[in-house]
């Protein structure tokens, strides 16, 4: 939801008290003492109250596709990521919890195992929790490949501009990109499905400029049967270059360019998102 608010350029204030909505759910928002929960209802509420609409440039058919993709991610892909994070890789997730102090390790253990139990119970009720580990990961891979195919070489899922579906897709892919080290989804997104990795980085840089990511996060730090070492993201074939030079830079865009030791023929980092290209004149790219 926070990514959507940033995409819509709406001011907001986070509340970290852990309080659930009146329906017992998270996330939720409150505007003028009116509380709404559920991503779809929150977006509808903001559109009605504030007139914001990230999907106004989409055709009716595109809106239908956007909704279908959103529901696939929220109601299906979400559970496979939850399984990977809270069931299959619980110890890694436990160590990543932001809990400190003399009782930090014990609190991490308690919180992680409580959450794992809740996730297992909800997954069983959903139905996906009744599948084997191999079946869950098979479904996850199909969802990720579907997203990669839909994205192709576009900047965003539905084209050159972000829409509400991008807030949903990014929030779920970000888990695979940055919080599941050494897992199958990380191997996919940082290797074979590299366009999804660049998509995540593109959104991170444009809408989360204060979120620092080390260059090492772009490597798959693990071995596989097909490779003798980490797989570096040096292939620009799936970079989005569509309609980037004609767009006006967003107020969220970074003011300065980022550089890494590896660069392409334009001098731009191979790890930079194509938002950097939006600030380059066509003549500079041709030279």
Which pLDDT tens digit goes with each residue over 151-210? 999 999 999 999 999 999 999 999 999 988 889 999 999 999 999 999 999 999 999 988
The DSSP code for 279 is: G
33 Cβ contact partners less than 8 Å away, ≥ 6 residues apart: none
Least confident interval from 14-23, 102-111, 114-123: 14-23
Stretch 29-35: mean pLDDT, rounded?
84
Taking the C-alpha atoms of residue 127 and residue 81, their distance in angstroms, rounded to an integer, is: 15
Cα distance between residue 147 and residue 145, in whole Å: 5
- pLDDT band for 269, please (50, 70, 90 cuts): very low
Instruction: Express as a percent the part of the chain with pLDDT over 90.
Output: 47
Question: What does 18-60 look like in DSSP terms, one character per residue?
Answer: ----TTS-SSEEEETTEEEESHHHHHHHHHHHH---TTTTS-H
58-108 pLDDT per residue, tens: 999 999 999 999 999 999 999 999 999 999 988 888 888 888 888 888 988
From CA 76, how far away is CA 20, in angstroms rounded? Answer: 23
The pTM of the full predicted model, rounded to 2 decimals, is 0.72
**Torsion angles phi and psi, residue 29, rounded to 5:** -130, 160
Indicate the domain borders of the chain.
1-53, 58-245
What pLDDT is recorded for position 213?
Answer: 64
The tokens for 98 are 């932001």
The third-level CATH classification (topology) of the domain covering 58-245 is Glutathione S-transferase Yfyf (Class Pi); Chain A, domain 2 (1.20.1050)
Instruction: Report residue 32's pLDDT band, with 50, 70 and 90 as the boundaries.
Output: confident
Instruction: Please return the burial class of 216, using the count of CB atoms within 10 Å of its CB with bins 0-12, 13-18 and 19+.
Output: exposed
Measured between alpha carbons, how far is 200 from 186 in angstroms, rounded to an integer? Answer: 12
Predicted pLDDT at 214 = 56
């Amino acid at each position: 939801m926070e990514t959507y608010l940033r995409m819509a350029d709406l001011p907001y204030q986070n509340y970290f008290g852990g309080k659930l909505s009146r329906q017992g759910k998270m996330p939720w928002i409150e505007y003028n003492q009116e509380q709404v929960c559920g991503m779809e209802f929150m977006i509808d509420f903001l559109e009605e109250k504030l007139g914001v609409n990230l999907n106004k440039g989409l055709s009716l058919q595109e809106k239908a596709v956007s909704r279908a993709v959103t529901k696939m991610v929220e109601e299906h892909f979400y559970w496979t990521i939850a399984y990977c994070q809270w069931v299959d890789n619980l110890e890694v997730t436990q160590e990543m919890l932001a809990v400190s102090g003399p009782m930090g390790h014990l609190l991490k253990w308690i919180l992680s195992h409580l959450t794992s139990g809740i996730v297992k119970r909800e997954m069983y009720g959903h139905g996906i929790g009744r599948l084997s580990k191999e079946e869950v990961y098979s479904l996850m891979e199909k969802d990720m490949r579907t997203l990669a195919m839909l994205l192709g070489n576009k900047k965003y899922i539905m084209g050159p501009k972000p829409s509400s579906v991008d807030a949903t897709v990014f929030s779920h892919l970000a888990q695979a990109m940055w919080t599941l080290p050494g897992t199958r989804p990380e191997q996919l997104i940082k290797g074979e499905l590299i366009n999804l990795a660049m998509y995540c980085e593109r959104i991170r840089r444009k809408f989360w400029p204060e979120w620092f990511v080390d260059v090492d996060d772009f490597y798959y730090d693990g071995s596989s049967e097909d490779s003798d070492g980490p797989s570096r993201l040096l292939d620009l074939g799936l970079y989005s270059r569509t309609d980037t030079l004609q767009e006006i830079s967003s107020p969220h865009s970074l003011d300065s360019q980022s550089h890494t030791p590896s660069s392409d023929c334009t001098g731009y980092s191979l790890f930079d998102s194509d938002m950097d290209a939006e600030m380059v004149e066509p003549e500079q790219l041709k030279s």
